[in-house]
Structure 1
Amino acid sequence: MSLKTTVKIKAMTKTLLLIDGNSLAFRAFYAMYNQLDRMVAHTGLHTNALVAFNNFFDQVVEKMNPDYALVAWDAGKGATTFRAKIFDDYKGDRQTTPPELSEQFPYLRKMVDLHGIHSYELPGFEADDIIGTYSKLAEKAGLKTTIITGDRDLTQLVTDNVSVNVTKKGVTELDRYTPKFLAEKWGGITPSQVIEMKSLTGDTSDHYPGVTKVGLKTAIKLLNEFGSLDGIYQHIDSMKTSKLKENLLNDKESAYRAHELATIRTDAPVELEMKELINQPINFQELIPFYEELDFKVQLAKIHSMQKAGMVGQDQEEEKNVQVTELKAANLDHLSEIKNYLTVYFQTDSDNYHTAKISAFVVGNENDGYFASRDLELLNSSVVRKLFKGDLPKYVFNAKELIVLLNRLGLQINNLDFDFLLVSYLLDTTDNDNQLATLANRFNVFLESDAEVYGSGVKFKIPENNETLFSHMANKASTISKLHDPSMKKLSDHQQAELYRQIELPLSKVLASMEINGIKLDQAELKKLGQEFDQRIFELEKQIYEEAGQEFNINSPKQLADLLFAHMKIPPIKKTKTGYSTAANVLEELAEKYPFVGLILQYRQLAKLNSTYVKGLLEVVNPDDSKIHTRYLQTLTQTGRLSSVDPNMQNIPDRDEEGKRIRKAFVPSHEGWEIFGSDYSQIELRVLAHVTGDENLKKAFESGEDIHAATARSIFGLSTDQKITFDQRRRAKAVNFGIVYGISDFGLAQRLGTSRIEGKEIIQTYFHEFPKVKNWIDSIIALAHKQGYVETIAQRRRYLPDIHSKNFNLRSFAERTATNTPIQGSAADIIKIAMIKMQQALDDNHLKAKMLLQVHDELIFEAPKQEIDILEELVPKVMDSAVKLNVPLRVEAHHGVNWYDEK
């Protein structure tokens, strides 16, 4: 027979794959056990075993591409099999299957089915017996068989035509057992001797004994000498008297019973014929919604890529390419035919839309098609201006960005109706990366990301080819259009439509206006401050070197640690993996005893102020108007609070004197104007009083007494005529905010510098004085456990995937989050509503004043001096009435020639 003929015959040999379902399921579960509390679908189903099992299909099964395949499952617990009749305690000490795995079994079987592989179980028999039987049937039929399992018992089935792949690590790294490999692995024994070996050693996992004190090495030695269990006992009289011989004689019955238990049946009464095990194609049509239910985003994206490559069929609607026409002056009239709604998308080359280059735009809808162009002059045409200002509902992704971009071009847009970025954020605040492609995946709408088309980075490389650019932009616009109905329906189902239409969407327009206005930076003042900081940093550096007796890199934690703890012999407080810690909290504690450490802290503070704020702000000021134009991120935080970037205006220091001086450089845009500020007083604690309804807490706010002083009186048992010390108020303040953030007795003790017992007593006293606070905390945590999320007063949701975690730390954090979110999130709702109403009030009163910044619970304006008196009355009135709570809101106003001098 020629080599060519031999190869041909081998290629024609059909293959059978047999998978030990239960064994692989347990392996999969524990392979990703450390991810158990993280891998939870939106339904609450744990998915760690499903993820690992799916990886097994992708990385192992798919590559094998067998002709026939079967996953064998145990029909039930050990007590239901024939082996239990042989030995009552068979598998008797096995732990109960973890409930987190049990809940995944139905989905594991469905996964098998959707991958085109038959599942099979046989009452009275184990998966091993099903596998053993089909391996013999396949061998008789001339098939090559591969068995995959986590159980080495199945290596007894190995022949020249049957290999057994045993999991080595996880479920994707395997050892392939052949007769040769088996002999090398286990001292020359044959597959049939695997049964004899188990007869002698027993099996701890299946809970049946063999011969006392006979381990693997002894068993192999006996089998190499006598061949089998029968051979051993036929020659037992010729053995030398020893403890081994005594154990063999005493445990003969146990050994033969183990032999029977270890033997895998190859004649089980299986009912499926081989033709019924034909490996079927993957059912992608049903696999997609299955993956959606499990939140398998990576797998969904993979299927989408396969669809695009023509490797997988797709629905007719998905196959249809989005039609895009290049917009030119000659075909502008086509835009006047657009009806129902208008989707608008602008492409820029970076995320900072205040400075990014506007590369192109696309407009249109699903019915009338899409039109794209790089020619921004076309936007000034009467047709486009009329379209943008018209009453057609506008569908967009990031309304605030679009408003700013259009403003840069001297354009306006009306009736912004659907902002998918805002809608998707409200539906789920977790894993929100603000990318259209990622967010669209949640609705089974797939789109190539910008990174795939343009490349990743701070600035994108926009394709020069119009066809590539316009096609991708049209796909984006089409995606936004398609997402309107399903996402808005889901928003209504969540009772969040009002939150979107009354708060988030109007707020985006207010924020856009604030960003466009910006706040003026007195660059000369800031440079002057920077020079002063430079001089003080130089002097501090010189003093530090003198007292240290050497020069070193003050900014190097390692060199600083060597100096403090090795050279200067200062006792270290905390050790990390890289050495002794020089973190701020450590240095602050050391500074109380060692003045030299105080110099280091001063140096660090000034160096940070100088680099982050003085130099940092000067680098980002707009040279055209000398203003800072921050970007407010409306869809980042899980509580609903706004974030500020490029630069972060919410982090401008306001506590220490040096930091406050940074604010002196922020000034009004015009001569004769002032900076006006107003902020809510203790808004989170007022929200706490509102949601809990606690009479004592409400009384403190209604009386107008300082809330921390009132709390101090309650928890320290002080009468109304007793004076409250600074330390008592400080401790009460720590308790108040600790309660809001779900602090523990240990956490409070650390914050107060006291014992854990005293921390616990203070919390217990607080809950005794304010009993409804404790009742509310217990009820909100219970509600979070029941529904998996909590809401603010405006029905903003925060999902808590770790609320059912078995990990105490993760579950405890989720419970603290459940307590804090309705408080902090409701405070965010209130200030957002206040911003919307405040802008409306400025417009209604035809004031020149501009709202410039939102910094936590404070609003910053600029206004002509003659409007200050009006603002002092108007702003608190509007902010006080933003939301009706059952305790009064209190707003404090102040103004001055700059942000620092507000009084």
Structure 2
Amino acid sequence: MNMEKKLIIVDGNSIANRAFYALPLLNNDKGMYTNAVFGFTNILLKILEEEKPTHLLVAFDAGKITFRHTEYKEYKGKRQKTPSELSEQFPLMRKLLDAFSVKHYELSGYEADDIIGTITKEADQAGWKTKVYTGDKDMLQLVSEHIHVALTRKGISEVEYYDLAKLEEVYQLKPEQITDLKGLMGDSSDNIPGVPGVGEKTALKLLHQFQTVENIYEHLNEVSGKKLLENLTENKEKAFMSKELATILREAPLEIKLDDAVYEGYHSEQVIPFFQELEFKSLIERVGGSVEDSKVEAEDVEFKLIDEEKSALWEEALVSPSALHLEVLQENYHRAPILGISLRNENGLYYIPTQVALASASFKAWLESSEQKKWLYDSKRAEVALMWQGIALEGIEADLFLASYLLNPSESSYEIDTLAKAHAGKSIPSDEQIYGKGAKQKVPDSLDELAQHIARKADFVFKLKEKIDQQLEELKLTSLFFDLELPLARVLVDMEVEGIKVDRSKLVEMGEALQGRLDELTKEIYELAGTEFNINSPKQLGEVLFDKLGLPVIKKTKTGYSTSAEVLEQLEPQHEVVAKILLYRQLGKLQSTYIEGLLKVISDDTDKIHTTFQQTIAATGRLSSTDPNLQNIPIRLEEGRKIREAFIPSEKNRVIMAADYSQIELRILAHISQDQGLIEAFMQDKDIHTKTAMDVFHVPEEEVTSLMRRHAKAVNFGIVYGISDYGLSQNLHITRKEAKEFIDRYFESFPGVKRFMEEIVQQAKADGYVTTLLQRRRYLPEINSRNFNLRSFAERTAMNTPIQGSAADIIKKAMIEMNHCLKEEGLQSKLLLQVHDELIFDVPENEIEKMMKLVPDVMEKSIELNVPLKVDLNYGPTWYDAK
């Protein structure tokens, strides 16, 4: 019995194009762009897994000139040149197909469409089940009893299948009428003109009445609409030519036959090396490989082991400069064990077991000497780990982790194995490959494997340091690194080890009060809903709101009704239960994330929370806080704000002091844009939101209402973030038209801001990046993308980064100078936290007066702008009171 033939044909250029624009630019360690190949691979794997074809062919365009250009030289004339980032990926796609043993074909003078049209005709006549994968609706003309078309949607993540019934359902057309549709409406992507003024809706209406272009022109007197009749009459030639251009050739002189496309499967051993080369680690297991296949077999390094019996080695090991690595695994590394230590210098590579290192007086003296220069991968982690051991690490001269972040702040990883590949072209095992991840993480049983891994890191730091220094120099980032980021890491060490004291009993008390409030809300919700249900279950909540209470359905998901916060906010006016549910969710999150979450991370040894400050997360340069995130405690709800009452001074007779930069981003905008209206407002210390309302609404100060000021405030801050009319309309609950008028009036009032926004986007398009006042860079590879969404996001980022990033730089500079002043003046006050534009201090009562003068003085002078910086200062017995 013969197996049923199943042919799959892939429109190579169409799928590659859609993949390229759907996915962000990705590249491997050799700098090759891989996003289109990655998307293409995912489609290919989907086809192999779901379709299980007996025959498979990928058709590509052979070149730019085809027989259609001889008929119409403007064919595809307006299409932009294929970006080099995409064109260089086509050879990789062909290599991919070879690795998968998939036949691919192209024919000079013809398009992929014509190859597909011809081969599907042959398959149709043979009665083969055939499916075409493409992003091009033109292919719908090929649909028949045996031929179906799979159209990619949402980039490439979804596919919509068309057979004869689906085509009839969506368009009420037969396959052969697709060419008539294109003849009338044209196709801008292929520069097929069609009939001016005729869009899809009008074209479909005509075809439902007259069936074909030819029949329309035979019955022109029956066409209703004077303008439409005029357009059809004047553009008859264009309509027929457009239909002809849109018709896929089904008689191309192919040199391949159906049986040439036979597909017998692929061999993992051919595919896996290709995935390794392109760094598609996530796909290795999908092709039958294992995590082991993505492991890197690195060469062993030769190191000298320093143990109790070989203490004579200390003298040659402890020289300057040396690369130093301390292996500390945990995400929150406070009190975490040091698994081992390695050193690399001109004398060689050394591995030191932790016990031996910490027991050595000479090693401790070397670590604490500022004369002995050390190069590290992650200096803050090492310094914190040693500080908990009573050792103060000095002489840090390099930090590859921080330097790599400055070189490319948008990278997803700065792990040492990634840096080794990027900068030295060497592959070394990652931490995950050595230790595993998550709950399965464990130290290897083999001491040699552990020592090799730790020694290899110091070896690479030593080898990479000079190259990374050189790159910092080339990109003019040396000052930012040595004057800001590296000194800041020392400040953050002090802050992390100091921690902030928390009143446990206060948190417990708040938790009980919140639970009581949640219990009350639950009863109220049940009463209003007329039934008891699990409020935390989206499924049950959806059934109550939409089936039982009959509220209008805003949005559906794959599993049922959407009950997202966005949906509930729209439903709030419809029924009073919705407001209660929103409040229940907010209070529930406070209870679980903040009350219970904070109680879990209070140190039993210090009664403090020791958060970890992340310097390399935000592309703008902003610091973030993790384990726990203390920057994210909600303050819009009074119950959330009150959580800050549990954060208290370290001892009696001390207070918490908060110093907050006032409207720092708007002041930076005034400085960068040189807008005279903004500068004048800040120089005269006017309320900037009132001033904006006066200018935008054309009213004197006394006529500015609270609503006008609120709208002005939303625009002021929205402008900083590159807000659109849609975004502003959502924020202010006004129409898009009103929002657009508001933004237009704002730009009329502040023309310098408009000029800055336009110029910074143009500069970003030319340079590929933008910079902050302290020359921090942010690269914007999508700024010239043909994809509207990607390009728009990059443009907003270009406007926003110089402002946000400069604010980040300024507060970092203030932290360094503040820390220096506290030590220089011998004060007992300590810097505890940085939260957005605010610094939090623990201050003895006898230093309050001194700090009230010192803090604003340092913070306001940390950088000179052409408008003054202003700091608001408050203190009290808790963080809540220092508002």
Asked if these proteins are the same fold (TM beyond 0.5), I'd say yes
Instruction: Answer whether contact 1:28 1:48 (CA < 8 A) is retained.
Output: no
Aligned with 1:77: secondary structure? coil
Of the three residues 350, 355, 365, the one matched with 1:376 is: 355
Of the three residues 508, 512, 530, the one matched with 1:531 is: 512
- Aligned position for 2:12: 27
Aligned with 1:674: secondary structure? strand
Cα deviation digits, residues 654-681 of structure 1 (max 9, x gap): 2322112111111111111111110100
**Pairing 1:352–2:332 present:** yes
- Aligned position for 2:711: 731
**Pairing 1:403–2:383 present:** yes
Instruction: Answer whether contact 1:333 1:383 (CA < 8 A) is retained.
Output: no
Instruction: Answer whether contact 1:350 1:459 (CA < 8 A) is retained.
Output: no
Cα deviation digits, residues 18-76 of structure 1 (max 9, x gap): xxxxxx997156246233353536799975566689999999xxxxxxxxxxx999687
The equivalences for 1:196-207 within 5 A come to none
The equivalences for 1:8-407 within 5 A come to 27=12, 30-31=15-16, 33-36=18-21, 38=23, 40=25, 77-78=65-66, 89=71, 99-100=81-82, 105=87, 263=253, 296-298=278-280, 321-338=300-317, 339-365=319-345, 367-390=346-369, 391-407=371-387
TM-score normalized by the length of structure 1: 0.72
Matched AA of 1:565: F
- Aligned position for 1:607: 588
The equivalences for 1:508-547 within 5 A come to 508-547=489-528
Relative to structure 1, the CA distance from residue 902 to residue 880 in structure 2 (aligned partners, 3 Å threshold; closer, same or farther) is same
Cα deviation digits, residues 771-813 of structure 1 (max 9, x gap): 0000000000111111111111111111112211211122111
Instruction: Answer whether contact 1:27 1:150 (CA < 8 A) is retained.
Output: no
| Unaligned 5+ runs, structure 1 | 1-23, 60-70, 118-125, 132-148, 159-165, 172-183, 186-201, 206-257, 267-281, 303-310
- Aligned position for 1:676: 657
Cα deviation digits, residues 232-261 of structure 1 (max 9, x gap): xxxxxxxxxxxxxxxxxxxxxxxxxx9999
Rounded Cα–Cα distance in structure 1 between residues aligned with 2:45 and 2:540: 50
Rounded Cα–Cα distance in structure 1 between residues aligned with 2:450 and 2:845: 50
- Aligned position for 2:209: none
Instruction: Answer whether contact 1:32 1:48 (CA < 8 A) is retained.
Output: no
Matched AA of 2:776: R
Instruction: Answer whether contact 1:350 1:458 (CA < 8 A) is retained.
Output: no
Relative to structure 1, the CA distance from residue 486 to residue 594 in structure 2 (aligned partners, 3 Å threshold; closer, same or farther) is same
Relative to structure 1, the CA distance from residue 508 to residue 298 in structure 2 (aligned partners, 3 Å threshold; closer, same or farther) is same
Report the alpha carbon displacement of residue 651 of structure 1 after superposing the two structures with TM.
1.2
Aligned with 1:894: secondary structure? strand
Relative to structure 1, the CA distance from residue 116 to residue 678 in structure 2 (aligned partners, 3 Å threshold; closer, same or farther) is same
The structure having more radius of gyration, on CA atoms, is: 1
Matched AA of 2:412: N
Aligned with 2:782: secondary structure? coil
Matched AA of 1:823: I
Of the three residues 423, 430, 436, the one matched with 2:410 is: 430
Rounded Cα–Cα distance in structure 1 between residues aligned with 2:330 and 2:466: 29
TM-score normalized by the length of structure 2: 0.73
Relative to structure 1, the CA distance from residue 386 to residue 167 in structure 2 (aligned partners, 3 Å threshold; closer, same or farther) is farther
Matched AA of 2:405: Y
Relative to structure 1, the CA distance from residue 47 to residue 471 in structure 2 (aligned partners, 3 Å threshold; closer, same or farther) is closer
Aligned with 2:445: secondary structure? coil
Report the alpha carbon displacement of residue 880 of structure 1 after superposing the two structures with TM.
0.2
Instruction: Answer whether contact 1:36 1:47 (CA < 8 A) is retained.
Output: no
Matched AA of 1:99: K
Rounded Cα–Cα distance in structure 1 between residues aligned with 2:653 and 2:507: 21
**Pairing 1:548–2:529 present:** yes
**Pairing 1:794–2:779 present:** no
Relative to structure 1, the CA distance from residue 530 to residue 410 in structure 2 (aligned partners, 3 Å threshold; closer, same or farther) is same
Report the alpha carbon displacement of residue 356 of structure 1 after superposing the two structures with TM.
2.6
Cα deviation digits, residues 729-772 of structure 1 (max 9, x gap): 11000010111111112221222222222211111111111000
When structure 1 is superposed on structure 2, of 475-484 and 688-697 the one drifting more is 475-484
Relative to structure 1, the CA distance from residue 324 to residue 459 in structure 2 (aligned partners, 3 Å threshold; closer, same or farther) is farther
- Aligned position for 1:420: 400
Of the three residues 809, 829, 834, the one matched with 1:849 is: 829
Matched AA of 1:641: R
Cα deviation digits, residues 107-135 of structure 1 (max 9, x gap): 75699899999xxxxxxxx975999xxxx
When structure 1 is superposed on structure 2, of 633-642 and 656-665 the one drifting more is 656-665
Cα deviation digits, residues 380-401 of structure 1 (max 9, x gap): 3122112212323211121111
- Aligned position for 2:739: 759
Aligned with 1:343: secondary structure? strand
Report the alpha carbon displacement of residue 435 of structure 1 after superposing the two structures with TM.
2.0
Aligned length in residues: 727
- Aligned position for 2:673: 692
Instruction: Answer whether contact 1:78 1:90 (CA < 8 A) is retained.
Output: no
Cα deviation digits, residues 557-603 of structure 1 (max 9, x gap): 22222223322334454544544443334434544453333332332
Relative to structure 1, the CA distance from residue 498 to residue 151 in structure 2 (aligned partners, 3 Å threshold; closer, same or farther) is same
Relative to structure 1, the CA distance from residue 127 to residue 404 in structure 2 (aligned partners, 3 Å threshold; closer, same or farther) is closer
Relative to structure 1, the CA distance from residue 446 to residue 823 in structure 2 (aligned partners, 3 Å threshold; closer, same or farther) is same
Relative to structure 1, the CA distance from residue 861 to residue 577 in structure 2 (aligned partners, 3 Å threshold; closer, same or farther) is same
Of the three residues 606, 631, 645, the one matched with 1:664 is: 645
| Unaligned 5+ runs, structure 2 | 1-8, 47-58, 100-104, 124-129, 136-145, 148-175, 180-247, 257-269, 285-292
Matched AA of 1:27: G
Cα deviation digits, residues 356-409 of structure 1 (max 9, x gap): 3322222223x3222223342432312211221232321112111111100111
Rounded Cα–Cα distance in structure 2 between residues aligned with 1:833 and 1:475: 34
Relative to structure 1, the CA distance from residue 550 to residue 386 in structure 2 (aligned partners, 3 Å threshold; closer, same or farther) is same
Cα deviation digits, residues 533-561 of structure 1 (max 9, x gap): 22222222223323333211111222222
Relative to structure 1, the CA distance from residue 603 to residue 786 in structure 2 (aligned partners, 3 Å threshold; closer, same or farther) is same
Report the alpha carbon displacement of residue 842 of structure 1 after superposing the two structures with TM.
0.4
Relative to structure 1, the CA distance from residue 392 to residue 537 in structure 2 (aligned partners, 3 Å threshold; closer, same or farther) is same
When structure 1 is superposed on structure 2, of 587-596 and 800-809 the one drifting more is 587-596
Aligned with 1:100: secondary structure? coil
Rounded Cα–Cα distance in structure 2 between residues aligned with 1:574 and 1:54: 32
Cα deviation digits, residues 845-891 of structure 1 (max 9, x gap): 10001100001110001011000111100000000001111110000
- Aligned position for 1:895: 875
**Pairing 1:467–2:448 present:** yes
- Aligned position for 2:210: none
Rounded Cα–Cα distance in structure 1 between residues aligned with 2:541 and 2:736: 33
Instruction: Answer whether contact 2:400 2:465 (CA < 8 A) is retained.
Output: yes
Matched AA of 1:337: E
Instruction: Answer whether contact 2:476 2:775 (CA < 8 A) is retained.
Output: yes
Matched AA of 2:397: D
**Pairing 1:781–2:761 present:** yes
Instruction: Answer whether contact 2:10 2:132 (CA < 8 A) is retained.
Output: no
Relative to structure 1, the CA distance from residue 531 to residue 155 in structure 2 (aligned partners, 3 Å threshold; closer, same or farther) is closer
Rounded Cα–Cα distance in structure 1 between residues aligned with 2:676 and 2:736: 28
Relative to structure 1, the CA distance from residue 801 to residue 519 in structure 2 (aligned partners, 3 Å threshold; closer, same or farther) is same
The equivalences for 1:607-686 within 5 A come to 607-686=588-667
Of the three residues 831, 845, 854, the one matched with 1:874 is: 854
Report the alpha carbon displacement of residue 479 of structure 1 after superposing the two structures with TM.
1.6
Aligned with 2:881: secondary structure? coil
Instruction: Answer whether contact 1:36 1:46 (CA < 8 A) is retained.
Output: no
Q: CA RMSD in A?
A: 4.6
Cα deviation digits, residues 333-373 of structure 1 (max 9, x gap): 323224442112122342221143322222223x3222223
Instruction: Answer whether contact 1:29 1:101 (CA < 8 A) is retained.
Output: no
- Aligned position for 2:154: none
